[in-house]
Amino acid sequence: MAVEAFSSDWAKQFKDEINKSSVYKAAGKGWKWTVGLVVEAEPDKNFPESRGIVMDLFDGEARDIKVGPASEAQQCDFVITAPYTRWKQVATKELDATKGMLQGKLKLKGDLPTIVRYTKASQEMTECTTRVPVAWPDGS
């Protein structure tokens, strides 16, 4: 059953998908940092307030993923920020996250060599988001 985008239920299913992925388990080996996803508000898309997703990822496992205010996600070691529509494009495979970062459509803050070293893990994490059935607030 579809869950509301970027809600607590979505976070739980996203975490489950990551932990089911053998690809992520291998590619994320050695990762020790928190990742924050900031989903910026787009009131005209029925997404009125920015949200933050705090991901506690450790050594190929998602220990916790929770949704809260954007300010919490901004405290993470790595922060990826984009408006709601961009994240939706990523989750529906319309936009490749790596390309999005190179084009500045997704803004990344954090140590670049580290994130580049884990490109495969971040690609698989993106794949995991696409496996969560989502009800989008703008209805499409």
User: What secondary structure letter does DSSP report for 126?
Assistant: H
- 81 part of the interface to another protein, by CB under 8 A: no
Ranges within 109-128 binding another protein (CB under 8 A): 109-114, 116-117, 119, 123
Compare residues 5 and 11 and give the one whose CB is closer to another protein. Answer: 11
Rounded Cα distance, 62 and 12, in Å: 10
Which residue, among 30, 53, 54, has the nearest Cα to 121 in the 3D structure? Answer: 30
Helix (H, G, I), strand (E, B) or coil at 135: strand
Distance of closest approach, residue 139 Cβ to another protein, in angstroms: 29
- 63 part of the interface to another protein, by CB under 8 A: yes
Distance of closest approach, residue 78 Cβ to another protein, in angstroms: 8
Read off the amino acid at residue 113: P
20, 29, 93, 99: residue in contact with another protein (rule CB under 8 A): 99
Rounded Cα distance, 140 and 125, in Å: 23
64, 71, 135, 138: residue in contact with another protein (rule CB under 8 A): 64
* 37 contacts 57 by C-beta, under 8 angstroms: no
7, 98, 131, 137: residue in contact with another protein (rule CB under 8 A): 98
User: What secondary structure letter does DSSP report for 138?
Assistant: T
Compare residues 12 and 109 and give the one whose CB is closer to another protein. Answer: 109
H or E element, residue 51: strand 51-58
Question: Rule CB under 8 A: which residues touch another protein?
Answer: 31-34, 54, 56-58, 63-64, 76-77, 96, 98-99, 101-105, 107-114, 116-117, 119, 123
